[in-house]
Amino acid sequence: MHEFKIGKNDCGQRLDKFLSKAADMPASLLYKAIRKKKIKLNRKRCEGSDILSEGDTVQCFLPEELFSKDRGSSAELSRITPSLSVIYEDSNILLVNKRPGVSVHEDEDGASDTLIMNIKAYLYGKGEYDPEAEQSFAPALCNRIDRNTGGIVIAAKNAEALRVMNDKIRKREIDKFYLCAVHGVPSPARATLRAYLVKDENSKTVRVFDRDPPRGAKEIRTRYRVLSERGGLSLLEVELLTGRTHQIRAHMAHIGHPLLGDGKYGSNREDRRRGFAHQALCSYKIRFSFDKSESTVLDYLSGKEFTIPSGEIYFLSEFPGYKL
């Protein structure tokens, strides 16, 4: 028999979700074991939907090899010298400025120099994360941005913060603002754009339609304002009112103002000669606008705003004299 003692970072989730992380078994075996009473909660019959509480015990009358899941090791993390630009940190969350060119998670090439690995190594070095002591939790990213886009990424240090932050993001209680440099000068100087977006899985791109969208298209709303103009370029602040794949890049290109350096939705041969090998786009500001009708562990963040320093946004050099 293998027994799990439910700790602070394990509670609040369904039994089946916990075991899918803590054990190495296919879903079919997991649910069969629950039906056959080979998995018990506090030595009683249970259901996969049962919610775990701190102090509960889960008894699994199954082969021990199912519980040798590799969760990474402290030795692996100790070999990493974390490279992070920390914008804000407390006991629950971490806000970091991801550099363009850095992947948030391991990709198909298996690269380990990712944002999440740097965060785990950083927290391990501070004594705030021990992979061998955790059963189902590891520090996790709450939002993602493209590899070649820079900007603020939110990481949760514990399971409760992760659940709350993911719920706030789902309910759109976090306002996200981007800076980008585009070709030309959009007119009017500020507007809210509405259109429809559809993914093309074959080309890994999206297409934008003003009307008569194809089946499966999703509405997009993009709000922008022009902050500065120089040399045929404009600096824009963009607020995402919907969050779709490549939304800013595709929407701005659709209205005739592709991003500087964007080879996917623009023509960046000349941009590359100017030193811009990828899109001039940065998630530079977030604002927590939480609905306080429900009390959470992150209520203290409501109303707070965090911004990346101007010196860390590389393409602002194209607009000398402009300050955020």
- Mean per-residue pLDDT over the chain, rounded: 92
In the chain, residues under CATH classification 3.30.2350.10 are 74-170, 175-318
Residue 68 reports pLDDT greater than 80: no
Residue 121 reports pLDDT greater than 50: yes
Nearest Cα to Cα of residue 53 among 99, 92, 9:
9
% of residues, the chain, pLDDT over 70 = 96
Query: Cβ(121)–Cβ(134) under 8 Å?
Result: no
Question: What average pLDDT does range 21-26 have in this prediction?
Answer: 86
> What is residue 110's predicted lDDT score, i.e. its pLDDT?
52
User: What's the pLDDT tens digit per position in 77-102?
Assistant: 888 888 899 999 999 999 999 999 89
> What is residue 108's predicted lDDT score, i.e. its pLDDT?
45
Residue 224 reports pLDDT greater than 80: yes
Gyration radius (Cα) of the chain, Å: 23
In the chain, residues under CATH classification 3.10.290.10 are 2-67
Residue 297 reports pLDDT greater than 80: yes
> What is residue 324's predicted lDDT score, i.e. its pLDDT?
83
Which residues are 281's β-sheet partners?
A: 180
Any idea what DSSP says for residue 317? G
Q: What is the pTM of this model?
A: 0.86
Question: What average pLDDT does range 51-74 have in this prediction?
Answer: 84
Superfamily of domain 74-170: Pseudouridine synthase (3.30.2350.10)
Q: Is the model more confident about 286 or about 203?
A: 286
**What is the CATH number that goes with domain 175-318?**
3.30.2350.10
> What is residue 19's predicted lDDT score, i.e. its pLDDT?
93
Residue 107 reports pLDDT greater than 70: no
> What is residue 133's predicted lDDT score, i.e. its pLDDT?
86
Q: Which of 99-108, 131-140, 171-180, 252-261 has the lowest mean pLDDT?
A: 99-108
At the topology level, CATH places domain 2-67 in: 3.10.290
Sheet holding 2-5, edge to edge: 2-5, 57-60, 39-41
Residue 262 reports pLDDT greater than 80: yes
